[in-house]
Amino acid sequence: MNDDLNALNVTRKTGHEYLIQKGNPLENNVIEFWQWACSDLASNTMRGIFAEYIVACDLKIDMGIKPEWNAYDLITKSGIKLEMKSAAYLQTWKQHKLSNISFDISPTKGWDASTNIYSNEIKRQADIYIFCLLKHQDKPTLNPLDLDQWIFYLLPTITLNEKKPNQQKISLSALLKLNPMVATFGEISTTIEKIVYFIKLNKFDEINRA
């Protein structure tokens, strides 16, 4: 294998890096690009990425850079693998009604960016799923930066595998029937600790009784 084609070592940018032409910096920089590309935090793509960032902030996970296309979204300091899924009632575009809430729970083939190799096993890759719902329903006051407008439902993957082994999507109503643990910002870390505790005790049916 040609070592020159190994995975890139991507470093965190400050935002003040400038476009360059013929060795000379132009007036446009990365902050301007971020403003252009990422200002719509309510869009489906950016909302999902922002939800991951919110959870990472709650867990105080090292803020390096977000890996793309990993088998799972985040890993806690104790090694718990997390998969985030986001949804919202309100969308950027004109709506005639609130969006129905559903989340993707498809089993996948895990991919390793460092080797560019897919796993042969199709499964849910994380230990815990965090369903991030931007619950606010008044469009004029929608603000994804307001963490009080979010709610988080946490469910161990083993529950999904037991109750919905091959299902690709789950509605909010179906999710709630699985008795996920519910958290607001500031409670996600301790909620994960509770889930891990009950997983170790093999008492999944008691998760929501604590």
Note the pLDDT of residue 6: 82
Note the pLDDT of residue 118: 77
- Given a contact cutoff of 8 angstroms between Cβ atoms, the answer to whether 61 and 77 are in contact is yes
DSSP class per residue in 145-205 = T-GGGEEEEEEEHHHHHHHSTT-SEEEHHHHHHT--EEE-TTSHHHHHHHHHHHHHHT-GG
Distances (CA, A) of 5 to 1, 8, 65, 66, 68: 8, 8, 20, 21, 17
Note the pLDDT of residue 210: 47
- Which pLDDT tens digit goes with each residue over 64-103? 777 776 778 899 999 999 999 999 999 999 999 999 999 9
Note the pLDDT of residue 69: 67
Number of C-beta neighbours around residue 116 at 10 A: 10
Spatial separation of the C-alpha atoms in residues 142 and 42, rounded to whole Å: 9
Spatial separation of the C-alpha atoms in residues 9 and 27, rounded to whole Å: 26
Note the pLDDT of residue 103: 98
Q: Which residues of the chain have pLDDT under 50?
A: 1, 209-210
